[in-house]
A = this chain, B = another copy of it.
């Protein structure tokens, strides 16, 4: 798990590019979509679930699952709630806004 300087620079480059991209992605959003967009983005920030998986596994693998392991497990549960709940609640909101509209367009 040792870091090389090249890898660090690569990560920082990716960080900067993704920030630029984030700024560009969203330009004009109608008020109706503010909350769904916020909640969808929030669900995506639950990607930390990947970190939680790694952290709890590393901690449990290390033999003596102390406080670190259980912190990792808590993180896992919270992150999963964030993702799953977030995507579902976003979906519910969108069903009502966009779902109806789509139906109208078809008919």
Contacts and interface: CB of A to CB of B under 8 A. Distances in A.
Interface residues of A, number: 13
Tally of this chain's copies: 2
Contacts of A18: 17
Interface in A13-39: 13-14, 17-18, 20-21, 24-25, 27
A23 to B, nearest CB: 9
Contact of A20 (B7, B10, B11, B21): B21
A96 to B, nearest CB: 29
Contacts of A24: 21, 24-25
Interface of A: 6-7, 10-11, 13-14, 17-18, 20-21, 24-25, 27
